[in-house]
A = this chain, B = another copy of it.
């Protein structure tokens, strides 16, 4: 569709074949990652690290190949149709980022992260922040260099944030997170002050086989496409794959069957996004999912707006009772799924509401670390003070405080905000779906999820990376990215549950 003159060969097909190759190799790397976390025997690590590194390295070489720069320059001159323009835009961004960071710096970060892992694990186990501090300092410094290599003239934290969320802008993220902080802190205080005690009707222990049958039933009913997926267990649940093969993992805690159910539905949400990408665009940006906030919006939408809804409780509670041999009412299930407990200092165990305070805390600290406004040595004190301020809880040691997450050990500064942005977007998308799909809630009460799948596929999944994130949100919902819907949803739901 490029309107080149007939004498000049259209570079697009060769460019696209190269792009696909890079994408296929990236996906091969994901298969290695899945295997490592799900099936690989532990002693396989040394070989797997080398295989994954070799694969990353050839993929990086292909992405930064100078021919890619030449094709991009040629295509910048061409009169391309919208889809091709989107492909060129996405590849240019990836290429320029990859090409601007020296390979030695990439290797140094990767090596530092590898070496940091056991240091972090031990420091966490021993509540010993001092032992981890030099490593964290080194990583902060390296990531500053990384940001400067990409763009020395911009706020380094903004540059890092764009690695995970390129098209919303850090200013939008900051605005949204500040608003969440300002409005959720008082809401949480109200909840804490409430006399209402929500039901906690699963006091027993439920063996993993029983829980697995329950979560498989949930996946069946929600419409997981087993022909293009599978369920396994992993220490840290995740979802990965392509539109042809999008897998889900979960984990089972005997004392917490709702934990496994929620986590499975969360990963199912991620998988639905991947499975909704168009088959015929596999390997191109139009067949790839948008970035982390949008991905997280899909997992949170299914986990919270469906899985923790009253309608779903009415539909699914009999199945829970069948599997767990309990006698829980839909109301009790609904309450159990929505209990708020600010006194837990661990992010991954947090409830739907206080979760965001954990994120905001991390966001504030990592932004100040990267800018240099905060010294590494100050992290534990700031962390603990802010936990007390936001949630009224003070971690007993660094292990359940500032050392609890792996992200900084990996050098992932700028990642945390996307979790909350995902929740915010989930509420915005769900509100639009509810407005446009007649009887959405009534459907869920009957176990009818097709209409929601269709709306999400039509408005989000099938576009892949066609639109920049902010445009995708506007196309899907008719308005800019906003926290309005999330805050309204949270106030309504928890106001009702806690009789505020």
Residues on A close to B: CB < 8 A? 20-21, 24-25, 27-28, 31-32, 34-35, 39-48, 50-55, 57-58, 62, 226-230, 241-245, 247, 279, 282-283
Contacts and interface: CB of A to CB of B under 8 A. Distances in A.
A364 to B, nearest CB: 40
Given A35-B35, A50-B283, A283-B50, A244 B25 contact: no
A47 B24 CA distance: 8
Given A31-B51, A55-B28, A244-B47, A41 B282 contact: no
A219 to B, nearest CB: 13
Contacts of A282: 46-47, 50
A390 to B, nearest CB: 42
Nearest to A27: B51
Smallest CB-CB A-B distances: 7 pairs: A44-B245, A24-B54, A47-B244, A28-B51, A43-B228, A47-B242, A24-B51
Contact of A41 (B32, B50, B229): B229
A241 B20 CA distance: 27
Contact of A35 (B31, B43, B52, B242): B31
Contacts of A31: 31-32, 35, 48, 51
Contacts of A45: 244
A26 to B, nearest CB: 9
Nearest to A53: B24
Given A21-B54, A21-B57, A27 B43 contact: no
> Chain A: interface secondary structure?
helix
Given A31-B32, A41-B245, A50 B228 contact: no
Contacts of A245: 40-41, 43-44, 47-48
Contacts of A244: 43-48
Nearest to A283: B50
A25 to B, nearest CB: 5
Contacts of A39: 39, 230
A23 to B, nearest CB: 9
Contacts of A40: 245
A230 to B, nearest CB: 6
Query: Max chain B CB contacts within 10 Å: which of A31, A51, A55, A282?
Result: A31
A226 B241 CA distance: 27
A43 B55 CA distance: 24
A247 B43 CA distance: 12
A40 B227 CA distance: 10
A223 B7 CA distance: 68
Contacts of A279: 46
23 contacts: A20-B54, A21-B57, A21-B58, A24-B51, A27-B51, A28-B52, A31-B35, A34-B35, A35-B35, A40-B245, A41-B227, A41-B228, A41-B245, A41-B247, A43-B227, A43-B228, A43-B244, A45-B244, A46-B279, A46-B282, A47-B243, A47-B244, A47-B245
B51 A62 contact: no
A242 B43 CA distance: 11
Contacts of A35: 31, 34-35
Nearest to A42: B227
Contacts of A229: 41
A226 B41 contact: yes
Contacts of A21: 54, 57-58
A31 to B, nearest CB: 6
